[in-house]
């Protein structure tokens, strides 16, 4: 049994509400939309990811007999509740932005239309998947923009928040444009290219650094990347040059070196000089060690001759902003639009669509957010992905998603590409039809909005 597919991967209040819905016959169609309320600091866009895992979760949603029995025996619910869970599957529709799509605040990236109990139950896991992958895809996309043409590799598994986070981060960063990951299981399970060389422990396990280098190079006669910062980086670079001429006679090239600590800009320049003077013009320099997109940008701006970067903790935890304000909100029930008006957390009601407008150069100009029926010119971003509980398309290949993401980044206005908040944010225009609907809902529920709309 797959732990990660359990319908009990939910909050208890979903079950308490389900029980109340069943008790009161509330099984009408509900429409929920998943969106991010605001951009985190220093973000000019977000990138959608995680849809494939979300669809897979919905497609396989089913309580095992063991889980039903647990609910029965929990003492939290009347006995008949477990009977409802026994046959529960997801029979609804899903509309969503394809993975790799850039999106902005208040734009739904996924919409679920299903009988209330089904649509409610899946909230926690849908946010859990789409929130995290979108968080990392966004962070990775920033890195891609900061280091055009450089080899970027996810090194984050060890400090990812659990194993699933490590795997999903490898996937999300690959979609966003990373070359691959160090996480082997992501290679085996998802076909993501994997990268890896040696750690300090390999060097330390030898009495002599040169012996460690030589043994490693012999083991990988097509060319290895040697880690040179265990003791003294520049001295180690000189050792590599000396070793390279010895290895050359045996037909073994030195593919490159990795720097993992110290003043990387200065070290990279000095190491490059040492390698070049030693004739190792083709040997590349790969850098790692507490890097993020800002450090990478600064290193490149300082002229550091670095060919590739391993980015770990900051990527997989999105360390400067480890979460998005992602929510999944009821927009319609039993044919009536709904909205929440809690202070500072009001939402736009109804089934919505985002129509993206392009400028003459083919770049994003602005988006229009309105009710689905209020069709506008431009590209509708939400497309049907599930119908009656079944997926409409086979899963897109990671290659196709990478092309989508790269295409999106190419169409992003220049002012939104820097790593800091742009002076003029991307414009999301809310159409009168949507404002009118919000007013109608407010009148209908007989309440005056307490605070901001």
Query: Using CB under 8 A, which residues numbered 331 to 350 contact its own copies?
Result: 333-334, 336, 338-345
Q: Which stretch binds its own copies (CB under 8 A): 116-124, 299-307, 365-373, 406-414?
A: 116-124
Q: How many residues bind its own copies (CB under 8 A)?
A: 114
CB-count exposure of residue 88 (10 Å: 0-12, 13-18, 19+): middle
Choose the binding region for its own copies from 41-49, 276-284, 323-331, 363-371 (rule: CB under 8 A): 323-331
Q: How far is the CB of 408 from its own copies (least distance, A)?
A: 23
Binding positions for its own copies, 125-164, rule CB under 8 A:
125, 127-129, 131-132, 135, 155, 157-164
x/- site string to its own copies, residues 59 to 78, per CB under 8 A?
Answer: --------x--x---x----
Q: How far is the CB of 180 from its own copies (least distance, A)?
A: 9
Do residues 182 and 310 make contact, with C-beta atoms less than 8 angstroms apart?
yes
Distance in Å, CB of 366 to its own copies, minimum: 29
Each residue 382-421 as x (binds its own copies by CB under 8 A) or -, in order, gives: ----------------------------------------
Contact between residue 332 and residue 350 where contact means Cβ atoms under 8 Å apart: yes
Nearer to its own copies, 30 or 368 (CB): 30
How many Cα atoms within 13 Å fall on the side-chain side of residue 220?
15
Q: Is 216 in the site for its own copies (CB under 8 A)?
A: yes
Residue 10 Cβ, how far from its own copies at the closest point, in Å?
Answer: 5
Distance separating alpha carbons of residues 141 and 127, to the nearest angstrom: 20
The CB density around residue 158, as the number of other CB atoms within 10 Å, is: 11
Binding mask 178-207 vs its own copies (x if CB under 8 A, - otherwise)? ----xxxx-xxx----xxxxxxxxx-xx-x
- Nearer to its own copies (CB atom), residue 131 or residue 356: 131
DSSP state of 221: T
Report the alpha-carbon distance of residue 311 to residue 315 in Å, rounded: 6
In the complex, least distance from residue 337 CB atom to its own copies, rounded to whole angstroms: 10
Among the listed ranges 84-92, 238-246, 259-267, 425-433, the one in contact with its own copies (CB under 8 A) is 259-267
Binding residue for its own copies, selected from 24, 249, 250, 281, defined by CB under 8 A: 24
Instruction: Give, in order, the Cα–Cα distances in Å from 191 to each of 38, 120, 180.
Output: 34, 33, 10
**Which residues fall within 8 angstroms of residue 449, CB to CB, at 6 or more apart?**
341, 346, 442
- The DSSP output letter for 318 is T
Q: Are strands 110-115 and 29-36 parallel, antiparallel or unpaired?
A: antiparallel
In whole angstroms, the minimum distance from the beta carbon of 112 to its own copies comes to: 12
Query: Using CB under 8 A, which residues numbered 286 to 315 contact its own copies?
Result: 313
Residue 149 dihedral angles phi and psi, to the nearest 5°: 80, -5
Among positions 221-250, residues that touch its own copies (CB under 8 A) are 229-233
**Eight-state DSSP code of residue 283:** -
> What is the nearest approach in angstroms of its own copies to the Cβ of residue 259?
10
Q: Among residues 316 and 409, whose Cβ is nearest to its own copies?
A: 316
* Other Cβ atoms within 10 Å of 343 Cβ, number: 9
**Rounded CA gap, 414 and 423, in Å?**
12
Return the bridge partners of 226, or none.
257
For residue 435, report the phi and psi dihedrals to the nearest 5 degrees: -60, -40
Rank residues 342 and 421 by Cβ distance to its own copies and give the closer one.
Answer: 342
CA distance 33 to 123: 10
Minimum distance of its own copies from residue 320's CB (angstroms):
9
Q: How far is the CB of 93 from its own copies (least distance, A)?
A: 18
């Amino acid at each position: 049994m797959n732990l990660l597919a359990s319908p009990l991967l939910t909050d208890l209040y979903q079950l308490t509400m389900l029980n109340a819905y069943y008790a009161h016959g509330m099984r009408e169609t509900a429409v929920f939309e998943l969106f991010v309320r605001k951009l985190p600091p220093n973000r000019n866009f977000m990138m959608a990811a995680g849809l494939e895992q979300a669809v897979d979760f919905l497609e396989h949603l089913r309580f095992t007999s063991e889980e039903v029995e647990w609910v029965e025996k929990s003492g939290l619910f009347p006995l008949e509740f477990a009977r409802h869970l026994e046959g529960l599957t997801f029979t609804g529709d899903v509309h969503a932005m394809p993975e790799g799509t850039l999106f902005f605040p208040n734009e739904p990236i996924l919409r679920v239309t299903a009988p209330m109990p089904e649509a409610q139950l899946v909230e926690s896991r849908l946010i859990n998947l789409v929130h995290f992958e979108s968080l990392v895809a966004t962070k990775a996309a920033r890195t891609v923009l900061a280091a055009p043409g450089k080899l970027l590799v996810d090194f984050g598994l060890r400090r990812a928040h659990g194993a699933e986070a490590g795997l999903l981060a490898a996937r999300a960063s690959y979609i966003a444009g990373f070359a691959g990951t160090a996480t082997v299981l992501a290679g085996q399970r998802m076909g993501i290219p994997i990268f890896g060389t040696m750690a300090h422990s390999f060097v330390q396990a030898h009495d002599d650094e040169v012996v460690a280098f030589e043994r490693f190079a012999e083991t990988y006669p097509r060319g290895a990347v040697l880690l040179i910062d265990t003791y003294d980086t520049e001295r180690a670079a000189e050792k590599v040059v000396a070793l390279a001429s010895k290895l050359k006679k045996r037909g073994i090239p030195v593919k490159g070196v990795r720097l993992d600590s110290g003043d990387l800009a200065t070290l990279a320049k000095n190491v490059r000089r040492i390698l070049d003077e030693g004739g190792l013009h083709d040997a590349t320099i790969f850098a790692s060690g507490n890097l993020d997109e800002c450090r990478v940008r600064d290193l490149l701006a300082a002229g550091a001759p670095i060919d590739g970067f391993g980015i770990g903790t900051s990527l997989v935890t999105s360390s400067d902003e480890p979460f998005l304000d992602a929510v999944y909100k009821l927009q319609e029930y039993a044919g009536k639009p709904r909205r929440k008006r809690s202070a500072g957390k009001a939402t736009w009601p109804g089934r919505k669509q985002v129509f993206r407008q392009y400028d003459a150069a083919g770049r994003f100009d602005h988006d229009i957010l309105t009710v689905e029926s209020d069709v506008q010119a431009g590209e509708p971003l939400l497309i049907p992905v599930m119908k009656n509980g079944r997926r409409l398309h086979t899963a897109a290949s990671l290659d196709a998603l990478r092309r989508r993401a790269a295409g999106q980044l190419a169409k992003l206005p220049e002012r939104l590409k820097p790593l800091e908040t742009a002076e003029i944010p991307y414009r999301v225009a809310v159409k009168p039809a949507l404002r009118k609907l919000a007013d109608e809902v407010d009148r209908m529920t007989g309440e005056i909005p307490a605070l901001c709309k």
